Amino acid sequence: MSAGQRDARTPGRRGGPDPRRTGVPQRLQTLDPLAMIALAAHARAVTAVAPESARAPVLAVAALLVVLGAVGMAGWRGTTAVAVRAGAVLATAYVLMALHQPASGYFLLWYFVVVAIYPLVLPQRTGRVVALAAPGIYLLLLPLGAADGPLPVAALRAVSLGLIGLFVNGAATAYRDAEVDRDSAIAQLDTYAEAAPVGLAVWDPSLRFLRLNASFAELTGLPVEAQLGRVLVDLPQVESHLALTLVRVLTSGEPVEDVELVSGTRVWTSSFFPVRVGDRVMGVGGVALEVTEQRAVERALSFSATHDALTGLPNRALFGDRLGVALAQAAPRGAQVAVLFCDIDRFKMVNHSIGHAAGDDLLRVVAERLAAVLDPGETVARLGGDEFGLVCTAVTDLAGALAVADRVCAAMRVPIQLGDRPVTATVSVGVALCEAGEADVVGALRDADVAMYQAKDAGRDQVAVFDVSMRSRAGDRLEFHGALRAAIERDEIEVAYQPVMHLDSRGAPELVGFEALARWHRPEGDVPPPVFIATAEDLGLIHVLGERVLRAACTTVQQWRQETARDLTIAVNLSAAQLADGRFADVVAGVLADVGLPASALQLEITESILMTDVDQSQRRLAELRGLGVGLAIDDFGTGYSSLAYLRDLPVDLLKIDRSFTQRLPEDSPMFAFVVDLARAIGARTVVEGVETAEQLAEVTTAGCDMAQGFFLSRPLTPAAATRLLRGVPAASD
């Protein structure tokens, strides 16, 4: 504690009793009992030696000195006190000398200077020696004076003065030592209090601050000096809760613990206890520990336990709690609660395409848009991954629920600007309208989830309303997902090979390579590739499946190249997720190195629509693959919306004309010829798909297509059938 703080806490004389700690009235505490005793003895001695005629003025002077010493000395210490006492003694001696009493005057001058002042300037032993020697010195001085009375009387007076001197000396010394000890203890206590990492304070029964340290002062925001001696309730910065707690301690005499006090953004936990003198409660003590950071950590932990860290939305647990509350509140009214389950369409593909950091930004924007759709008091939560749930308590019927779902879909169709690229992320929405008293949290969420998958099956960016018949389809879907996962793990997805023929108007088509096509044969029947490939993308299995198909195709065609000594090529289709994967070029390079296939023998096919998803990224990924030396082809050319300028900038060397153009031959030959001319305009070779008749073959050959494939030339073959074809054995579809 600073000196200023100590002075502020002990107003009045330095080191003296603090009126705010004793409860004694202020006007009485300024009196110094020892000073009164010393000066009373002083006055008595003066009047004893003064002649009768002079006693009245001497008594007046003595009374003045008593008042001066009693009041003044109580407030003065140090050099000021020395000056006051010395002045009093000198004034008395002067009066005596003026009354022709030099012996008494000189003696008192010497005696009271020593007895009254020595505690400040002389050690205790010296003061006692002087006091004991006082009678003898007084007697020795008698010859110097006049009419001091008979010797026995003078001797008795001297002994009396000596005893008084001893008493005053001892009392003054003890008082001085007690003050020193007390001041030392208070200073030490103040030092400890200021060094303590907690706030400390003491109040009297009227809730007046008797003591407090700087740490406790921070609780009110006022400096220590502004609070000492003031009543707590007079401080506007102090909350009433604190005053009520102190009153409770005073009245009950029992401590109160774990009281939380708040000042602005800071938080304290406090305990208060009664201060007793005997059996009486004379005040209240308090200890306060700041826990602002701890409370902030606790709030953060509590928030993270119930909210999603990425979006700040409620998580699945809190969503379940709020849905349960909504169902319980709706039950007495017989009302309905609408639950919406939203899933971002092809999010895994989009996430791989734009990168995980941008994917996180996408999720945040989706969360903001969903929250903006709902009315205040309704709940939107991130249930996990790209799944979001909505609880619509204001909806009373199916029409209202569908209106909310339509607003959700409309909000998501607006492109999201992520950096310098616009991204469109549609959602599929499942709606479950829960009857109060009949639905539970788990069932409501499950039904909405089932409806959401129905919306995806309907083509995505759709809304589906749950009905009971969907539950069986949901079970079938789960079984299908499990079967596909198991088939990929057991390598049951097979590869078929459809021959690719080189066209020459002067001769028959010539086999130059194959296209690898994934096939899944189940006991229940073959699964169409678009179905299980889309499911593999949704389940995040497309990378494993794609690499296995790539490795199997490259291994097989390399064996055929070695057996036949022919420069056969193999075409493999890529998914959007594979193209978006920044590691895919390394995967391709690793497969080529493992099987020994030249990079020029591999043709990677990407659909036009996939390339248009993210133009800049597509160019980067194709450039990486082109750097390996592999061929690149645009599949289903003519069905997308890419411009010639864009296609010309892509490092592709082959365009595969979609079968939709072939099927319109020969009726739409001019359109087909135009598409072929477009391919030539960008310097790419052409492969036409879907040749199923001799007439179509003749048309595409006449149009100048470089290569063709289709059922008329050959259906997709098993590896064994393709081997027989290469060996000259007529091949039929296996």
CA 107 – CA 154 distance, rounded (Å): 13
Q: What phi and psi, each to the nearest 5 degrees, are found at residue 498?
A: -100, 125
Reading the block at residue 25, the tokens are 């009235």
Provide the token pair at 693.
């008749």
Spatial contact of 637 and 655, defined as CB atoms under 8 Å apart: yes
Q: What is the DSSP letter of 331?
A: G
Question: What was the pLDDT predicted at 563?
Answer: 93
Please report how the helices 124-141 and 151-195 are oriented relative to each other, as an axis angle in degrees rounded to 10.
Answer: 160
Q: Give the residue among 579, 557, 687, 701 at the shortest CA–CA distance from 633.
A: 687
In sequence order, the 6+-apart residues with CB closer than 8 A to the CB of 148 are 49, 101, 103, 104, 142, 154
Report the DSSP pairing between strands 525-527 and 569-573: unpaired
Closest CA to 102 of 143, 149, 52, 158: 143
CATH topology of domain 487-726: TIM Barrel (3.20.20)
**Beta strand pairing status for 463-465 and 336-344?**
unpaired
pLDDT at 127: 47
Domain assignments of the chain as residue spans, ordered by start:
3-191, 196-295, 307-467, 487-726
What are 422-425's contacts with CB under 8 Å, separation 24+? Answer: 423/350, 423/354, 423/358, 423/362, 423/614, 425/344, 425/345, 425/347, 425/350, 425/362, 425/366
Q: What is the model's pLDDT at position 38?
A: 47
What are the pLDDT digits (tens) for 588-621?
999 999 999 999 999 999 887 777 666 777 788 8
- Secondary structure percentages of the chain, helix, strand, coil, to 5: 55, 20, 25
270 φ/ψ angles, rounded to the nearest 5 degrees:
-130, 155
Q: Amino acid letter at 22? A: T
Distance CA 405, CA 464 (A): 9
**HSE-CB of 645 using CA atoms within 13 angstroms:** 0
Is 245:272 a contact under the CB 8 Å cutoff? Answer: yes
Q: What is the DSSP letter of 71?
A: I
Return the pLDDT at 33: 44
Are 451 and 339 in contact by the 8 Å Cβ rule? The answer is no
Q: Where are the alpha helices (DSSP H) in 196-264?
A: 214-220, 224-227, 240-252
Helix 33-49 × helix 79-98 angle, to 10°: 10
Site of tokens 């595409």: 700
What's the rounded Cα separation, in Å, for the pair 507 and 500?
A: 16
pLDDT at residue number 25: 36
Q: How many CA atoms lie within 13 A of 698 on its CB side?
A: 4
pTM over 0.85: no
Question: Are the C-beta atoms of 342 and 452 separated by less than 8 Å?
Answer: yes
pLDDT confidence of residue 172: 54
Whole-angstrom distance, CA of residue 653 vs CA of residue 679 = 10
**Closest listed residue to residue 587, CA positions, set 637, 547, 634, 619:** 547
**Sign of the torsion formed by the C-alpha atoms of 559, 562, 564 and 565:** positive
Q: What values do phi and psi take at 395, rounded to 5?
A: -80, 135
Nearest CA among 611, 601, 525, 528 for reference residue 574:
611
Query: How far apart (Å, rounded) are the C-alpha atoms in residues 581 and 651?
Result: 18
346 in Cβ contact with 537 (< 8 Å): yes
Look up the CATH number of domain 307-467.
Answer: 3.30.70.270
* Angstrom distance (rounded) from CA 504 to CA 523: 42
Q: What is the pLDDT of residue 552?
A: 96
Peptide bond into 666 cis (omega under 30): yes
Q: Give me the residues of the chain with pLDDT under 50, please.
A: 1-38, 69-79, 82, 96-101, 103-107, 109, 113-128, 130-132, 135-149, 153-154, 156-157, 732-734
Determine whether 69 is exposed, middle or buried from the number of CB atoms within 10 Å of its CB (0-12, 13-18, 19+). buried
CA dihedral (635, 637, 641, 642) positive or negative: positive
Q: Tell me the CB-side half-sphere exposure of residue 188, using CA atoms within 13 A.
A: 6
Classify domain 196-295 at the CATH superfamily level. Answer: PAS domain (3.30.450.20)
